[in-house]
Protein backbone atom coordinates (compact mmCIF):
# COMPACT_ATOMS: atom_id res chain seq x y z
CA UNK A 1 0.00 0.00 0.00
CA UNK A 2 2.75 2.46 0.94
CA UNK A 3 4.73 1.63 -2.19
CA UNK A 4 1.69 2.39 -4.33
CA UNK A 5 1.36 5.72 -2.51
CA UNK A 6 4.96 6.63 -3.31
CA UNK A 7 4.41 5.74 -6.96
CA UNK A 8 1.37 8.04 -6.99
CA UNK A 9 3.43 10.88 -5.51
CA UNK A 10 6.09 10.38 -8.20
CA UNK A 11 3.38 10.50 -10.84
CA UNK A 12 2.05 13.70 -9.29
CA UNK A 13 5.48 15.33 -9.56
CA UNK A 14 5.79 14.14 -13.16
CA UNK A 15 2.40 15.65 -13.98
CA UNK A 16 3.47 18.99 -12.53
CA UNK A 17 6.54 19.03 -14.78
CA UNK A 18 4.41 18.20 -17.82
CA UNK A 19 1.89 20.91 -16.97
CA UNK A 20 4.71 23.43 -16.57
CA UNK A 21 5.98 22.47 -20.02
CA UNK A 22 2.43 22.91 -21.34
CA UNK A 23 2.55 26.46 -19.97
CA UNK A 24 5.86 26.98 -21.76
CA UNK A 25 4.40 25.72 -25.02
CA UNK A 26 1.45 28.06 -24.61
CA UNK A 27 3.59 31.16 -24.11
CA UNK A 28 5.80 30.15 -27.04
CA UNK A 29 2.78 29.80 -29.31
CA UNK A 30 1.28 33.04 -28.02
CA UNK A 31 4.56 34.84 -28.74
CA UNK A 32 4.75 33.42 -32.25
CA UNK A 33 1.12 34.39 -32.86
CA UNK A 34 1.91 37.90 -31.62
CA UNK A 35 4.78 38.42 -34.03
CA UNK A 36 3.26 36.64 -37.03
CA UNK A 37 -0.37 37.67 -36.42
CA UNK A 38 -1.22 33.96 -36.64
CA UNK A 39 -4.89 33.36 -35.86
CA UNK A 40 -4.55 29.55 -35.90
CA UNK A 41 -1.95 29.70 -33.14
CA UNK A 42 -4.16 31.93 -31.01
CA UNK A 43 -6.90 29.30 -31.18
CA UNK A 44 -4.40 26.63 -30.19
CA UNK A 45 -3.34 28.65 -27.13
CA UNK A 46 -6.96 29.17 -26.11
CA UNK A 47 -7.66 25.43 -26.46
CA UNK A 48 -4.55 24.61 -24.44
CA UNK A 49 -5.76 26.93 -21.69
CA UNK A 50 -8.90 24.82 -21.36
CA UNK A 51 -6.68 21.76 -21.03
CA UNK A 52 -4.50 23.50 -18.44
CA UNK A 53 -7.54 24.44 -16.37
CA UNK A 54 -8.91 20.91 -16.50
CA UNK A 55 -5.55 19.44 -15.49
CA UNK A 56 -5.18 21.90 -12.61
CA UNK A 57 -8.66 21.03 -11.35
CA UNK A 58 -7.88 17.31 -11.59
CA UNK A 59 -4.59 17.79 -9.73
CA UNK A 60 -6.29 19.63 -6.88
CA UNK A 61 -8.90 16.89 -6.55
CA UNK A 62 -6.13 14.32 -6.53
CA UNK A 63 -4.27 16.18 -3.80
CA UNK A 64 -7.37 16.43 -1.62
CA UNK A 65 -7.93 12.70 -1.99
CA UNK A 66 -4.33 11.96 -1.03
CA UNK A 67 -4.61 14.15 2.06
CA UNK A 68 -7.86 12.53 3.10
CA UNK A 69 -6.93 8.90 2.50
CA UNK A 70 -3.17 8.75 3.05
CA UNK A 71 -2.50 11.43 5.69
CA UNK A 72 1.00 12.10 4.34
CA UNK A 73 3.75 13.46 6.59
CA UNK A 74 7.24 14.94 6.16
CA UNK A 75 8.51 14.83 2.55
CA UNK A 76 5.36 13.12 1.28
CA UNK A 77 3.26 15.95 2.66
CA UNK A 78 5.53 18.51 0.99
CA UNK A 79 4.89 16.89 -2.38
CA UNK A 80 1.14 17.35 -1.96
CA UNK A 81 1.51 20.91 -0.65
CA UNK A 82 3.78 21.88 -3.54
CA UNK A 83 1.38 20.35 -6.06
CA UNK A 84 -1.54 22.31 -4.62
CA UNK A 85 0.40 25.58 -4.62
CA UNK A 86 1.90 25.06 -8.05
CA UNK A 87 -1.50 24.48 -9.66
CA UNK A 88 -2.44 28.07 -8.84
CA UNK A 89 0.70 29.35 -10.61
CA UNK A 90 0.11 27.01 -13.54
CA UNK A 91 -3.48 28.15 -13.88
CA UNK A 92 -2.32 31.77 -14.01
CA UNK A 93 0.43 30.98 -16.53
CA UNK A 94 -2.18 29.46 -18.82
CA UNK A 95 -4.45 32.48 -18.39
CA UNK A 96 -1.64 34.92 -19.17
CA UNK A 97 -0.72 33.15 -22.41
CA UNK A 98 -4.45 33.10 -23.21
CA UNK A 99 -4.64 36.88 -22.65
CA UNK A 100 -1.86 37.48 -25.19
CA UNK A 101 -3.63 35.24 -27.70
CA UNK A 102 -6.91 37.10 -27.18
CA UNK A 103 -5.26 40.45 -27.93
CA UNK A 104 -3.87 39.02 -31.16
CA UNK A 105 -7.29 37.63 -32.10
CA UNK A 106 -8.99 40.92 -31.26
CA UNK A 107 -6.65 42.95 -33.49
CA UNK A 108 -6.37 40.40 -36.31
CA UNK A 109 -5.42 40.89 -39.12
CA UNK A 110 -3.61 44.02 -37.98
CA UNK A 111 -0.13 43.73 -36.43
CA UNK A 112 0.03 44.74 -32.76
CA UNK A 113 3.68 45.40 -31.99
CA UNK A 114 5.42 48.30 -33.76
CA UNK A 115 8.80 47.46 -35.22
CA UNK A 116 10.70 49.63 -32.76
CA UNK A 117 9.75 47.44 -29.80
CA UNK A 118 9.50 44.03 -31.47
CA UNK A 119 12.99 42.94 -30.32
CA UNK A 120 12.01 43.64 -26.68
CA UNK A 121 8.89 41.51 -26.97
CA UNK A 122 10.83 38.76 -28.74
CA UNK A 123 13.27 38.69 -25.83
CA UNK A 124 10.54 38.73 -23.19
CA UNK A 125 8.74 35.88 -24.92
CA UNK A 126 11.92 33.85 -25.20
CA UNK A 127 12.73 34.38 -21.51
CA UNK A 128 9.21 33.44 -20.42
CA UNK A 129 9.39 30.21 -22.44
CA UNK A 130 12.82 29.39 -21.04
CA UNK A 131 11.71 30.04 -17.46
CA UNK A 132 8.87 27.55 -17.87
CA UNK A 133 11.25 24.91 -19.20
CA UNK A 134 13.75 25.65 -16.41
CA UNK A 135 11.01 25.32 -13.79
CA UNK A 136 9.89 22.01 -15.30
CA UNK A 137 13.47 20.72 -15.27
CA UNK A 138 13.80 21.83 -11.65
CA UNK A 139 10.72 19.77 -10.80
CA UNK A 140 12.13 16.74 -12.64
CA UNK A 141 15.41 16.90 -10.71
CA UNK A 142 14.07 18.43 -7.48
CA UNK A 143 16.72 21.13 -7.86
CA UNK A 144 16.68 23.19 -4.66
CA UNK A 145 18.78 26.00 -6.17
CA UNK A 146 16.64 26.63 -9.24
CA UNK A 147 14.49 29.27 -7.50
CA UNK A 148 17.46 31.51 -6.81
CA UNK A 149 18.76 31.14 -10.36
CA UNK A 150 15.43 31.95 -11.95
CA UNK A 151 14.87 34.89 -9.60
CA UNK A 152 18.16 36.41 -10.71
CA UNK A 153 17.35 35.81 -14.38
CA UNK A 154 13.89 37.33 -13.84
CA UNK A 155 15.56 40.69 -13.20
CA UNK A 156 16.07 40.96 -16.96
CA UNK A 157 12.33 40.64 -17.59
CA UNK A 158 11.65 43.39 -15.05
CA UNK A 159 14.28 45.60 -16.69
CA UNK A 160 12.79 45.04 -20.14
CA UNK A 161 9.34 46.01 -18.91
CA UNK A 162 10.64 49.22 -17.32
CA UNK A 163 12.45 50.05 -20.56
CA UNK A 164 9.26 49.34 -22.50
CA UNK A 165 7.30 51.76 -20.32
CA UNK A 166 9.87 54.49 -20.90
CA UNK A 167 9.36 54.08 -24.66
CA UNK A 168 5.56 53.91 -24.54
CA UNK A 169 5.26 57.08 -22.48
CA UNK A 170 7.94 59.06 -24.28
CA UNK A 171 6.90 62.18 -26.16
CA UNK A 172 8.15 60.76 -29.47
CA UNK A 173 5.89 57.68 -29.31
CA UNK A 174 4.05 57.87 -32.64
CA UNK A 175 1.86 54.76 -32.74
CA UNK A 176 -1.16 55.97 -30.80
CA UNK A 177 -2.85 55.22 -27.53
CA UNK A 178 -4.34 51.86 -28.53
CA UNK A 179 -0.96 50.42 -29.51
CA UNK A 180 0.57 51.73 -26.28
CA UNK A 181 -2.16 50.10 -24.19
CA UNK A 182 -1.81 46.78 -26.00
CA UNK A 183 1.97 46.82 -25.63
CA UNK A 184 1.73 47.75 -21.96
CA UNK A 185 -0.70 44.92 -21.23
CA UNK A 186 1.31 42.32 -23.12
CA UNK A 187 4.49 43.40 -21.37
CA UNK A 188 2.70 42.93 -18.05
CA UNK A 189 1.48 39.47 -19.10
CA UNK A 190 5.04 38.38 -19.89
CA UNK A 191 6.32 39.75 -16.60
CA UNK A 192 3.64 37.96 -14.58
CA UNK A 193 4.15 34.70 -16.49
CA UNK A 194 7.85 34.80 -15.62
CA UNK A 195 7.00 35.55 -11.97
CA UNK A 196 4.79 32.46 -11.77
CA UNK A 197 7.52 30.27 -13.30
CA UNK A 198 9.92 31.58 -10.64
CA UNK A 199 7.34 30.84 -7.95
CA UNK A 200 7.11 27.22 -9.11
CA UNK A 201 10.89 26.90 -8.98
CA UNK A 202 10.81 28.27 -5.44
CA UNK A 203 8.30 25.59 -4.52
CA UNK A 204 10.89 23.02 -5.62
CA UNK A 205 13.27 24.38 -2.98
CA UNK A 206 10.59 23.74 -0.36
CA UNK A 207 9.98 20.28 -1.78
CA UNK A 208 13.64 19.35 -1.64
CA UNK A 209 14.67 21.00 1.64
CA UNK A 210 11.59 22.05 3.57
CA UNK A 211 12.80 25.67 3.31
CA UNK A 212 10.51 28.17 1.62
CA UNK A 213 12.16 30.91 -0.42
CA UNK A 214 10.37 34.27 -0.46
CA UNK A 215 10.93 37.35 -2.55
CA UNK A 216 14.12 38.34 -4.30
* DSSP codes joined into one string, 58-107: HHHHHHHHHHHHH---HHHHHHHHHHHHHHHHHHHHHHHHHHHHHHHHHH
Domain count of the fold of the chain: 1
User: Is residue 157 in a domain?
Assistant: yes
Q: What is the pLDDT of residue 91?
A: 98
Q: What is the pLDDT of residue 216?
A: 47
Distance CA 188, CA 96 (A): 9
3-state secondary structure 9-63: HHHHHHHHHHHHHHHHHHHHHHHHHHHHCCHHHHHHHHHHHHHHHHHHHHHHHHH
- CATH at residue 26: 1.20.58.220
User: Is residue 107 in a domain?
Assistant: yes
User: Is residue 171 in a domain?
Assistant: yes
Question: Block means of pLDDT (10 residues each) for the chain, length 216 residues?
Answer: 79 96 98 97 98 98 90 85 95 98 96 93 97 95 86 93 94 94 97 96 86 56
Domain that holds residue 108: 2-209
Residues with Cβ < 8 Å from 107, sequence gap 6 or more? Answer: 37, 182
pLDDT 10s digits, 105-151: 999 999 999 999 999 999 999 999 999 999 999 999 998 888 888 98
User: Is residue 196 in a domain?
Assistant: yes
Amino acid sequence: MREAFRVELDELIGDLARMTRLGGRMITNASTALHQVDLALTELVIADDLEMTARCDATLRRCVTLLALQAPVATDLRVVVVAMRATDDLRRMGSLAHHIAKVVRLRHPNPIIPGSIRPMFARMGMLASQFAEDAATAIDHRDALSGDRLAEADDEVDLLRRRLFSILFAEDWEHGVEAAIDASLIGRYYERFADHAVAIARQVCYLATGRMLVGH
